[in-house]
Amino acid sequence: MTVIDRAYSQERVAYGRQDGTIWSMRTSSTVGFAVDGRDRARLDHLALVFGGGNRSAFLREAIGVMERFELVQEVSRVQVYGASRLAAAGLTREDIPALVERALTDPDPAAKAQAKRTVADLASHWGPPVREPSTDEDQITGVWAEVLDAAQVVEVRASDGSGEASVVVPAVTKRTVRSAKSAATASVGLRSLADDQ
Amino acid sequence: MPVEVVADVPVLVAALSGIGPGAVAFPATPPRSGQPEVDALGVFAYPDKNFALNMSDEIVEGVVVTLRDTHGLAWSAGQVDRAIEVLSGLAAATSGGLITPEFSMQIPTTVGLSAIQGIRAAASHELGNPRVVVTSDPAALRLDPFAPRGIPHPPDQPIAILSPAAFTAAAERARWKLRPA
């Protein structure tokens, strides 16, 4: 059995009915594709898991994943070339900082010209990221801070002639001290500003 | 809002000069390769939106001139273009961007030029928070966490400065904590 997917067109009609917009204004278009009968259940399952039951939503997710896959494969190909260049130059990974330092301070004119062209080309179609304000859904923000500030414990041992004892205490990390110092400095600055006014 | 990541030029060049098992392991975070820079780049292979790779014009220029340097790695022009395509492709795929560095900021003179470029980029007003610079520069690593002075920057959001290995480990720990229950 062959099934033609109509998810895109269904979504478009639903949208048009919902707010009265002429649906030819939408950027989505109907794309038909054939699904073998044996694969239909698998498609529906994946659409349910990754698209909330919406095949169009699933397809968008799947496109993103496959694009990343393509990129990663390309990275691997470039790395194979890169490793061969490093070996051909008789160098190792440890030599790279010095190579970079030299190239930055005294760049090859042809390389510099290519670099300028590359940046101009990138800037013509790519720019700064667009960032929305943080929301409660941004779990990574909290988790990242937690990971960096992970409370560590140290065991402090003491001994005298009568025996030995140990106490486990939270370790104050360099990060904690610096963050506190930075916040305190900012507070002092604000207070002196208020005093001046 | 993702973690804003800037890797300096030596990290990016080293990441492009070693072979990683990224494609083999996709879509999982690739297993460690033993090459910290390659592993750090592997963090961006995983298709979530938690870590955004950002680059500035001076970082892109630095990568190009280093790879092309005829007295060094001597990459062909075409391969350099390909390398920039994949780096910018990874950056775009992770919602990172081409950002304007912040020049009016005090950075200790002990820090090397590449790491300075990384810190300038990470301090860009175009980025959200939190931010991290990935570098192997010892003087830069001693600044962690770095609170930029001389520019408007929230004092409670210092820039983390991590080695490639520390960044990879932290990213893995964060993803582990975020795993579905």
The total number of structural domains that make up chain B: 1
- Inter-chain CB proximity A65 and B27 less than 8 Å: yes
Here the CATH number for the domain that contains residue B80 is: 3.40.50
Segments forming the whole domain that contains residue B158: 3-177
Torsion from C-alpha of B159, B123, B44, B84, nearest 10 degrees: -150
- Residue-wise pLDDT for B89-118, tens only, equals 999 999 999 999 999 999 999 999 999 999
Side-chain half-sphere of A149: how many Cα atoms within 13 Å? 14
Chain B (34-63) residues lying within 8 Å, Cβ to Cβ, of chain A: 35, 37-38, 41, 45, 47, 50-52, 54, 57, 60-62
Among B2, B14, B4, residue whose Cα is nearest residue B114 = B14
3-class state of residue A44 by DSSP: helix
Q: Give tens-digit pLDDT for B117-142.
A: 999 999 999 999 999 999 999 999 99
Instruction: Among A86, A144, A181, pick the best mutation site for testing chain B contact (most B Cβ within 10 A).
Output: A144
pLDDT tens for B27-64 read 666 677 788 999 999 999 887 889 999 999 999 999 99
Closest residue of chain B to A119, computed from CA coordinates: B57
Report the number of secondary-structure helices (H) and strands (E) in chain A. 7, 4
Distance from CA of B8 to the nearest CA of A (A): 10
Higher pLDDT: B173 or A155? It is B173
Q: Tokens at residue B51, please?
A: 């870590």
pLDDT top residue among B85 and A175? B85
In chain B, whose CA is at the least distance from the CA of A72? Answer: B23
State how far the Cα of B136 lies from the Cα of B93, in Å rounded to an integer. Answer: 25
Distances from the Cα of A90 to the Cαs of A9, A47, A81, A96, B98, in angstroms? Answer: 58, 51, 14, 12, 33
A49 touches chain B (CB under 8 A): no
ipTM: 0.91
Q: Which of A119, A126, A128, A148 is nearest to B6 (CA)?
A: A128
Question: What single letter denotes the amino acid at residue B43?
Answer: V
A188 Rama class: left (phi>0) / alpha (psi -120 to 50) / beta: alpha
* φ/ψ (deg, to 5) at A16: -60, -40
B65–A108: do the CB atoms touch at under 8 Å? yes
Q: Is the pLDDT of residue A180 over 80?
A: no
Q: Are strands B131-134 and B160-162 parallel, antiparallel or unpaired?
A: parallel
CA distances from A100 to B62, B63, B117 (A): 7, 8, 12
Return the half-sphere exposure (C-beta side, CA atoms, 13 A cut-off) of residue A95: 14
Report how far residue B134's alpha carbon sits from residue B178's, in angstroms, rounded to the nearest whole number: 22
Contact by Cβ (8 Å): B43, B171: yes
Per-residue model confidence (pLDDT) at position B28: 63
Nearest to B158 among A72, A112, A178 (CB): A178
Q: Do A74 and B22 touch (CB under 8 A)?
A: no
Of the partner residues B62, B68, B130, the one whose CB lies closest to the CB of residue A141: B130
pLDDT given for residue A22 in this prediction: 37
pTM score, whole prediction: 0.79
pLDDT at A106: 93
CB B66 within 8 A of CB A104: yes
Percent of chain B with pLDDT over 70: 93
| CA of residue B149 relative to chain centroid, distance | 22
